[in-house]
Amino acid sequence: TTYEACKEFCEANSLEFTYFKPAGDSDAERVAMVDKAVDEGYNVIVIPGYAFAGTVVTAENEYPDTTFIALDVAAGDLLGAALGDAYDYDPSHWDVSKIISKNVYCAVYQEELCGYMAGYAAVKLGYKQLGFLGGMAVPAVVRYGYGFVQGADAAAVELSLTDVSIKYAYGNQFNGDADITAAMDTWYGAGTEIVFACGGSMFQSVAAAASAEDGKVVGVDVDQSSESDTVVTSAMKGLSDAAEWAIAKVYDGTWDEIGNNATALGVKENAVGLPTATWSMENFTVADYEDLFQQVLNGDLTIDNNSEMANPAEGGLTNVNVNYIGG
């Protein structure tokens, strides 16, 4: 989605665009692609994902005339990459502005908000046997999952339900395979009705199992309804809008408003939510969703964004039972 947004923006504004793909999964290989991009004259580099934190820390000072837009890269990710063993895992203890240079903008998303909406909607729809399969217990995935559980619990409270349960696991990977499909076959076969597939291309394995067992799926990051008819809704974050908005700042003269900064994008920026355009939910209407969205926007709902709550069974739930399987 980030790639598509960058490509569309550049085509619309007559800018040259190229996709540079690291040869492997290491800081050195990612930095090598930054080197190559700069050598070829590219001066705005958009990089998505927490794994690029070390790349930003290395490249931001080496290339002060290059603008870096780091999406899904948190201040804590940069601090961890910069400080190594000295990092105490609490970004509030550090001056983030000294880690992020003026040519860098970092943004993460408040995944717990759209995760909450998806979990709330699932229970409102009548599902009582839910599942959450995350890729790895990294902050974004944890926020998605913890939000999902909080939303399910809130809906269960409203409906006076005490028999809602959630299987909760991490696959320790962000790709699907036969093992993931087999595990999901077991979940659906044992009665799980709907699974929040929160692990990149693990989605394909979850959707395959759901299709075989007449189950349902909640998609992640983008609207995944076009990928499988098992998708009921998706917990989305505005990857495309954020990329285009940040790139535009470079060219409209307002980069100083966001450079040297790290932010968390949420409902105020319309950066997280559920897709109403492809709505397939009968007992939870668009009007119901818009009311829920407004409650979040107004601050009438408090949703915990604890990115260390890898096991939501420890989160003080009242009406939902979480069967934490781990990873």
Strand, coil or helix: 84: helix
Q: pTM of the entire structure? A: 0.84
Residue 13 CA to residue 23 CA, distance in Å, equals 29
List the one residue out of 136, 138, 119, 137 whose CA is nearest residue 128. Answer: 119
Q: Which helix H or strand E contains 130, and what residues bound it?
A: strand 129-134
Q: What is the pLDDT of residue 242?
A: 87
pLDDT tens track for 177-211: 999 999 999 999 999 999 999 998 999 999 999 99
Axis crossing angle, helix 111-124 with helix 286-298, rounded to the nearest 10: 140
Q: What is the pLDDT of residue 82?
A: 77
pLDDT tens track for 218-258: 999 999 999 999 999 999 998 888 899 999 999 999 999 99
Measured CA distances, 164 to 124, 127, 144, 160, 305 (Å): 11, 8, 19, 10, 22
pLDDT tens track for 296-312: 999 999 899 998 899 99
Q: What is the pLDDT of residue 80?
A: 79
The most confident of the ranges 121-125, 170-174, 239-243 is 121-125
Q: What is the pLDDT of residue 75?
A: 81
Q: Sign of the CA dihedral 21, 23, 24, 30?
A: negative
Q: What is the pLDDT of residue 110?
A: 95
Lowest mean pLDDT among 21-35, 250-264, 269-283: 269-283
Q: Sign of the CA dihedral 148, 290, 228, 1?
A: negative
Q: What is the pLDDT of residue 78?
A: 84
| Of 192 and 265, the one with more pLDDT | 192
Average pLDDT estimate for 2-31:
95
Q: Which helix H or strand E contains 233, and what residues bound it?
A: strand 231-237
Share of the chain above pLDDT 90, in %: 77
Strand, coil or helix: 270: coil
DSSP 172: S
Strand, coil or helix: 112: helix
Q: What is the pLDDT of residue 186?
A: 96
For residue 154, is pLDDT > 70? yes
pLDDT tens track for 54-102: 999 999 989 999 999 999 898 878 887 877 755 555 656 566 667 788 9
